[in-house]
Amino acid sequence: MGNSGVEYTTLPNANYQQDMQYVFRPCSWILGSIGIWPLAIRGIGRNISKIAIIICNFALSFAIVPCILHIVYDEKDLNIRLKLSGLLGFCLMSMMKYCVLALRRPKIMRCIEHVKSDWWQVKFSSDRELMLKYAGIGRKLSIISASSMYIAGFIYHTILPFCTVHEVNNQTIRPLVYPTYSKFYQTQMSPVYEIVYLAHCVCGYTMYSVTAGLCGLAAIFVTHACGQIDIIASRLEDLSQGKNFEKSSNVNQRIANIVKSHVQVLRFSVAVEEILQEVCLLEFVSSIFTMCLPEYYCIVDWQDSDTVGLTTYFLLFISFCFNMYILCYTGELLMEKSSQIGSMCFMIDWYQLPPKSIRSLILVIAMSSHPIKISAGNMFDLSLATFGNVLKTSLAYLSFLRTLVM
């Protein structure tokens, strides 16, 4: 993959290390902890990502399989089955998204190297300010997504299970986050209970990290592409003067650099879309149900005056909504920014350019006539309209669910 931006012979970005920490730190902490983000560790530590992936997948399977057996063979109450089905669906979808991200690690690493290369080549302070502006947006989205998911998940795993009394055959049992099959009686014995509970917490951390990491990854890559598009727009505005170009360049060289930068942004966006399309489809499908079921749980807990349950499921609902909104917002932002390049070609002082040079802008206009889009499995374009459709669909399913159960 090529490097976006104009190639210069001057010194690279003096603030490179500081900028990289600012851009990547939130997402690298989240995805690095579950083995998706590449870690610069030598020796035995080079395999730490593979070890983390194995441990996290084992923790997910450790919670999912007994939960399936409990729903099929043990649980008879319809309301509890619905609650457990929502939990099970979220676990399964998280495991599928995790596997897709693990398979896409090589492409994720290439996109990360592309972003690093772009920051390394920054020359003008105005370019760095534009990139920092969009990097700040991506960083804030990553932090808010992670905070909302981890807060709701912490309450769900450490507070909610201990707020109600759990009884089986008139005997009080110690609660677990995810139910286990009744044949596994030893789960109530120490230290087995503590080990199972810890494994459930690892499972929860993995699920929330996958969701928050996906949103953070999309936010970082998409906002970076938007920053590069804004730099191209600033080059177009300065095409006739050449203040933000090499002093020795002529108009034709400037246009060639603009076209080259535009092509590289398009290639980067295509690579990002390849990384995100499967996980975005899984997120799209799971969001309809994971947003519908917490709404139903909130209604049930409101009727039962269960304040802790109501608060927990409301926070989970807000987290799911916000994560889906981040994906749709970044898709909308990229679509809007990429379509502005063609319009910018009409708005510049093109009449000050040589006639032959003006014709060269036709290529830029032609490329921008098809805006860059992030799709969910090549089925749905991620946009704010898509987010509205997800909300409406989840409410429709909620209405159906209330009619069926209540």
Q: What is the pLDDT along the chain (406 residues), one digit of tens a residue?
A: 444 444 443 456 778 888 889 999 989 999 999 989 887 665 555 678 888 899 999 989 988 888 888 888 877 777 778 778 878 888 898 999 999 999 999 999 999 999 999 999 888 888 889 999 999 999 999 999 899 889 988 988 888 887 776 666 666 677 788 888 777 667 777 788 888 889 989 999 999 999 999 999 999 999 999 999 988 888 887 776 656 565 546 777 878 888 888 889 989 999 999 999 899 888 888 887 777 878 777 887 788 777 877 888 888 888 888 888 999 999 999 988 888 887 777 777 666 667 777 777 777 777 777 788 888 888 888 888 888 888 888 888 778 777 776 6
List the beta strands (DSSP E) in 140-200: 167-168, 171-172
pLDDT tens digit string along 33-62? 998 988 766 555 567 888 889 999 998 998
Angle between helices 251-303 and 105-120 (to 10 degrees): 130
Q: Please list, residue by residue across 155-164, b when 16 or more beta carbons sit within 10 angstroms of its beta carbon and e when fewer do.
A: bbbeebbeee
Sorted by where each begins, the domain ranges of the chain are 16-405
Cα–Cα distance between 323 and 51 in angstroms, integer? 27
Cα–Cα nearest to 327, from 379, 283, 360, 275: 283
pLDDT at 81: 80
- Identify the bridge partners of residue 380 per DSSP, sorted by sequence position: 376
pLDDT tens digits for range 164-198: 766 666 666 777 888 887 776 677 777 888 888 89
- DSSP assignment of 51-81, as one string? HHHHHHHHHHHHHHHHHHHIIIII---HHHH
Tally of CA atoms within 13 A in the half-sphere of 235 that contains its CB = 28
Nearest to 160 by CA among 313, 314, 308, 303: 308
Burial group, residue 392, by CB count within 10 angstroms (0-12, 13-18, 19+) = exposed
Give the pTM: 0.86
